[in-house]
A and B are shown apart, each in its own frame.
Chain A
Amino acid sequence: MASPIQSFMAQGAQMFLVLLVAPAVAGITRKVKARLTRRQGPPVVQCYRDLLKLIRKDSVLAGNASWFFRTAPYLIFAFTWVAAALVPTFASGLMFNWAADVVALIALIGAARALLALAAMDVGTSFGGIGSSREMMIASLAEPASMLVMLTVALAAGTTRLPEVAQFLISQPLEIRVSFALAFVALVMVAIAENARIPVDNPATHLELTMVHEAMVLEYSGRHLAMIEAASYLKLVLYFSLVICLFVPFGMAPLHGEPIAWAIGLAAYLTKLTLAAMALGVWEVSIAKMRVFRVSEFLGSAFIFSFLAILLAFLSREVLR
């Protein structure tokens, strides 16, 4: 085990790293989308500017907003930040490794989502209600799939703790595993749905009929909106890190890392994150948004993929035993 000071430093560095890169990741995706549609697009740092401006602005509250409406944004941000800080990114020797469990992670994400859905209904506008009901429909379909995906990988690694899973995967020779390929596809589909990206939801729309996430946060403004926006950037980074950690953890620093291993891990992580953000942009311009009622089919197939993944993993385990 790494020394306590080292693991504390790694954990602290990771906490601030995810917070720092999160708006840039969203910015890169937006920039790629704009360039591919032959627009100039806002600069990559625009998301930072938006956040700073929102924090400085006054928050406008509805007359009947309760204390819950005011506290929810901070709680949502806190839950998402903790979850994002738990997923190992550049090093696996973190202080809170014992807590970086996939079940805990899903619980944290679920708690943030529940808070957002409740807060959206607090003021009593109809958009908030539509948004939360749709969000809950999407979540109830996405959660079983994400659970099965993580259990597929955990079954292979023999543990549900993410840093140990990543270390296990790095130590294995490169193999062709159809179950991992299926689990990867399923997790990407879940990530798209959870982050309100096209084709499930469009982050850039305010059209009544189609918006899900935007409908929920419609009543928020000022620093509350800044918290919610930051949480959604963090959630995107969280899912990218999760995909990277579970399927391409190569380059991540080992449990007792030297500073040089950390540097390599950091460079590898940032490269992978940039590539993932660009891939998301390309994906979003090349596909059309689907109707809300087709989302169940989309996420249903994510569930099918993850279930097949776990079945195939089980099959080859039984056969090769």
Chain B
Amino acid sequence: MTLALDVAPVMVAYDVAHFLAGMMLVASFMLLYQDRIFAVLNTFAAQAMLLALAVAWQGYVHHHPDLFITAAMAFGLKGIVIPLALNRMVVRLGIHRDVDQAVNVASSMFLGLGLTSLALLLVLKVTPGASSFTREGLALALAVILLGFLMMITRRNAVTQIVGFMSIENGLILAATGARGMPLVVEVSVAFSVLIALFVFAVFVFRIRERFDSVEIEYLDRVRGDRRVQGDGR
């Protein structure tokens, strides 16, 4: 492991990290672009695998072997287990395979571009002293997180909202590894809480489905009961 850093100059180390993080950002945009549920799930799996590669590369370059465990968890859990689970869920529920969007693709993409620019400019402004790895990792991670939020906001389907949530978590891991890695205990607990969140989501989605015959979250408004009919004099 030590020998590699001596051979690989800093520029290559940076280039590869930049490439992987940049591709994660592209994957986030592809998540926004896709209009089929299975395509969304595949893209999400690809993003998680890119995350695993990015984390492993950081561990390799900076000699933090514990990051390899993080990478393996990202690969196994988010690259394979969670997409497969979601896939099964979609098949079992027989969900309408098209993704229903609250905002059309073009507008959400442009919103995404705005958020990305915002994230990059913000991080570059507030971290002038940090190392180049940290700055660029943080900038791209913030962009991925904001795009995950955007995806949760613009999608009406519960499954795609889960994917949005998980991609926010991908961004958080990227940020954490960029900023000198987080302790393994924290990492493990985060990974398991995400897994538990998936179970909670799954149970929740099945219940929604049982009750309303659909996983469109619009139906939940009726349960909440606080939406007034238009023009009721208030």
Which A residues lie at the B interface, using CB under 8 A? 175-179, 181-182, 296-297, 300-301, 304-305, 307-308, 311-312, 314-316, 318-320
26 residue pairs of the A-B complex, CB under 8 angstroms, read A177-B19, A178-B18, A178-B19, A296-B106, A297-B106, A300-B106, A301-B29, A301-B109, A304-B29, A304-B112, A304-B113, A305-B26, A307-B113, A308-B22, A308-B26, A308-B113, A308-B116, A311-B117, A312-B25, A315-B120, A315-B136, A316-B14, A319-B124, A319-B135, A319-B136, A320-B132
**Docked pose: A102 CA to B117 CA in angstroms:** 25
B200 within 8 A of A: no
Per the bound structure, the CA–CA distance linking A141 and B139 in Å amounts to 28
B105 in the interface, Cβ–Cβ < 8 Å? yes
> Among residues 63 to 118 in chain B, which have CB atoms less than 8 Å away from a CB atom of chain A?
105-106, 109, 112-113, 116-117
Partner of A178, one of B22, B113, B124: B22
Q: How far is the CA of A314 from the CA of B140 in the complex (A)?
A: 12
Name the distance in Å between A312's Cβ and chain B's nearest Cβ: 5
Q: Are A308 and B29 interface neighbours, CB within 8 A?
A: yes
Task: Determine if B11 is an interface residue (Cβ-Cβ < 8 Å).
Answer: yes
Closest B residue to A179 using CB positions: B22
Task: Return the contact of A312 from the options B18, B105, B112, B135 (Cβ within 8 A).
Answer: B18
A175:B15 contact, CB within 8 angstroms: yes
B12 partner residues in chain A, CB cutoff 8 A: 176
Chain B, interface SS category: helix
CA distance A148 to B120 in the complex (A): 18
Q: Hey, which chain A residues are within 8 Å of B136, CB to CB?
A: 315-316, 319
B33 within 8 A of A: yes
Q: Distance in Å from the Cβ of A316 to the closest Cβ of chain B?
A: 6
A297 touches B105 (CB 8 A): yes
Query: Is residue B220 contacting chain A, with contact meaning CB distance below 8 A?
Result: no
CA distance A296 to B184 in the complex (A): 45
Bound form: Cα–Cα A188–B150 in Å:
28
Given A177-B15, A296-B106, A319-B136, A312 and B22 touching (CB < 8 A)? Answer: yes
B10 shortest CB reach to chain A, Å: 10
Residues of chain B lying within 8 A (CB to CB) of residue A319: 124, 132, 135-136, 139
Q: Complex: how many Å from CA A314 to CA B124?
A: 11
Let me know if B16 is at the binding interface, CB within 8 A: yes
Instruction: Name the residue of chain A whose CB is nearest to the CB of B124.
Output: A318
User: Which listed residue (B14, B105, B116) contacts A311, Cβ 8 A?
Assistant: B116
Closest 8 A-B residue pairs measured CB to CB? A178-B22, A319-B132, A178-B19, A176-B15, A319-B136, A319-B135, A312-B22, A176-B19
Say yes or no: is B23 at the interface (Cβ < 8 Å to chain A): yes
Residue of A nearest to B112 (CB): A304
Minimum CB–CB distance from B70 to chain A (whole Å) comes to: 22
Contact A320 B14 (CB under 8 A): yes
Q: Which residues of A contact B106 (CB under 8 A)?
A: 296-297, 300
- Minimum C-beta distance from A14 to chain B (A): 34
CB distance from A245 to the nearest CB of B (A): 23
| Contact residues, B13-51 vs A (CB, 8 A) | 14-16, 18-19, 22-23, 25-26, 29, 33
Per the bound structure, the CA–CA distance linking A181 and B23 in Å amounts to 10
Would B18 and A316 count as touching, CB distance under 8 A? yes
Do the beta carbons of B33 and A301 come within 8 Å of each other?
yes
